[in-house]
Chains A and B, each alone.
Chain A
Amino acid sequence: MTRVSAWQRVGNGVGLVGVLAIAWFIAETTPTEEAWQGPIVVSGDIGETLTGRNIEAVVSEVRITETVTASNGWAGPTTGVWVVVDASVSAVVDDLGASLGTADLVIDGVTYSASERPDDGTIARQPLTTAIPVSGPLMFEIPREIVETEASQPATIQLAINSDPRADSVLAIEVDLGALPLLPSVDTNEPSWGAL
Chain B
Amino acid sequence: MKVPTRWLVAVLIALFLVASAAFGGLEDADTPPLPQLDVGESFTGAQLRIAVEDAVLIDAFPEAFITPQPGNRLLVIRATVDNVWDKPVTTISRIGAADNVRPRGIDGIEDEPLTVSVISDGSAYPKLQPAVPIELAFVWEVPDGAVSQSDVITVDVLDKTYAAGGLVTYGERFENPFVAAYVEVPVTDVGAGVGVDQESETP
Question: When chains A and B are docked, how far (Å) is the Cα of A142 from the Cα of B130?
Answer: 7
Contact B87 A111 (CB under 8 A): yes
A149 at interface, CB cutoff 8 A: no
B120: chain A residues at CB < 8 Å are 76-77
Q: A109-B86, A111-B87 are in contact. Are A166 and B170 (CB under 8 A)?
A: yes
Task: Judge if A36 is at the interface, Cβ distance under 8 Å.
Answer: no
Q: Is A33 touching B165 in the complex (CB atoms < 8 A)? A: yes
The 8 closest A-B pairs by CB, nearest first: A76-B121, A113-B88, A80-B132, A117-B123, A143-B131, A110-B86, A141-B129, A111-B87
- With both beta carbons as reference points, the residue of chain A lying nearest to B131 in the complex is identified as A143
A-B contact count (CB 8 A): 56
Residues of chain A contacted by B130 (CB below 8 angstroms): 110-112, 143
Residues of B close to A116: CB separation below 8 A:
123, 126-127
- Tell me, yes or no, whether A176 is within 8 Å of chain B by CB: no
Residues in A neighbouring B129, C-beta threshold 8 A? 80, 112-113, 115, 140-142
Number of interface residues of A (CB under 8 A): 25
Query: Closest CB of chain A to B125's CB: distance in Å?
Result: 8
B45 within 8 A of A: no
- A145 — nearest CB in chain B belongs to which residue? B131
Beta-carbon contacts under 8 Å, A53-99 to B? 74-80
Q: List 10 A-B contacts (CB under 8 A).
A: A33-B165, A77-B120, A110-B130, A111-B88, A112-B88, A112-B130, A115-B127, A117-B126, A143-B131, A166-B170
Q: Cβ of A74: which chain B residues have Cβ within 8 Å of it?
A: 121
List the A residue with the shortest CB-CB distance to B120: A77
Contact flags (1/0) for B11-38 with A, using CB distance below 8 Å? 0000000000000000000000000000
- A78 with B132, Cβ < 8 A, contacts A113-B127, A116-B127 known: yes
In the complex, which residues of chain B have a beta carbon less than 8 angstroms from the beta carbon of A117? 118, 121, 123, 126
Main secondary structure of the interface of B (DSSP, over half): loop
Residues of A within 8 A of B134 (CB): 78-79
Total contacting residues, chain B, CB less than 8 A: 17
Within 8 A of A (CB), among B68-114: 86-88
A28 → chain B closest CB, angstroms: 19
B165, closest chain A residue (CB): A33
Is B40's CB within 8 Å of the partner chain A? no
Residues of chain B within 8 A (CB-CB) of A113 are 88, 127, 129
Q: B residues bordering A, Cβ < 8 Å?
A: 86-88, 118, 120-121, 123, 126-127, 129-134, 165, 170
Q: Is the CB of B88 within 8 A of A79?
A: no
CB distance from A75 to the nearest CB of B (A): 8
Q: Give the complex CA separation of A75 and B165 in angstroms.
A: 38
Identify the interface centre among A77, A112, A142, A143: most chain B CB within 10 Å of its CB. A112
- Say yes or no for A119: interface residue by CB 8 A criterion: yes
Contacts of A143 on B, CB cut-off 8 Å? 130-132
| Pairwise interchain contact A115-B170, C-beta atoms closer than 8 A | no
Contact with B along A102-128 (1 / 0, CB 8 A): 000000011111011101000000000
- B131 lies within 8 A of A115 (CB): no
Could you tell me which residues of chain A, from 134 to 188, have a CB within 8 Å of some CB in chain B? 140-143, 145, 164, 166
Q: How far is the CB of B164 from chain A (nearest CB, A)?
A: 10
Q: State whether B118 touches A141 (Cβ < 8 A).
A: no
**Bound state CA distance, A164 and B171, in angstroms?**
10
Complex: how many Å from CA A78 to CA B118?
10
Measured between beta carbons, the chain A residues less than 8 angstroms from B118 are: 76, 117
Q: What's the least CB distance linking A36 to chain B, in Å? A: 13
